[in-house]
Copies of this chain bind each other. A is one copy, B any other.
């Protein structure tokens, strides 16, 4: 973005051009930015929904899980739904709300980045087009659904 050797011509950026409370990314980070929250949402995407299953799967302390779930329900990403299995007593499932499901693209972007740069083996997750079977990638697209290469993307602050 800036070229350190060729200052003074191009002065360094001294502060972010977008205030933190007007930036969707910063707001999202406040909600999702901790060691557990993204992992909990990952489980939710995979369909794990019960307190004790989450706890066992993540090895997360009960107290922390309890607080995080409350925060996520409070923020509207998860919904706590009662259900009854067989003759069991009523229990609760934590499931993604539409707002939570809408995080899918973000988590997929994160996953694909992790696969490219951190993962050693091949990915066990396969995202394909149901019609053609083609592999899918995250990209920026125009309203009519045409991908635009990175060099052709214009980033502007108004």
Question: In the complex, how many angstroms separate the beta carbon of A136 from the nearest chain B beta carbon?
Answer: 4
Contacts of A121 in B (CB 8 A): 22
Contacts of A38 in B (CB 8 A): 25, 29, 33
Interface membership of A66, Cβ < 8 A = no
From B46, B106, B124, A13 is in contact (CB under 8 Å) with B46
From B32, B53, B83, A5 is in contact (CB under 8 Å) with B83
- Chain A, interface size category, equals 35 or more
Taking a contact as CB atoms under 8 Å apart, the answer to whether B108 and A140 are in contact is yes
Interface membership of A64, Cβ < 8 A = no
Interface membership of A138, Cβ < 8 A = yes
Knowing A12-B47, A15-B53, A111-B23, the reply to whether A138 touches B105 (Cβ < 8 A) is yes
> What is the CA–CA distance of A114 and B29 in the complex, to the nearest angstrom?
9
Question: In the complex, how many angstroms separate the beta carbon of A18 from the nearest chain B beta carbon?
Answer: 5
Contact with B along A80-119 (1 / 0, CB 8 A): 0111111000000101100100111111111111111111
Could you list 19 A-B pairs, sorted by A, with CB under 8 Å? A4-B93, A8-B86, A12-B47, A13-B46, A13-B48, A22-B121, A22-B123, A24-B111, A25-B114, A27-B118, A29-B110, A33-B33, A33-B36, A102-B116, A136-B142, A137-B143, A138-B138, A138-B139, A139-B140
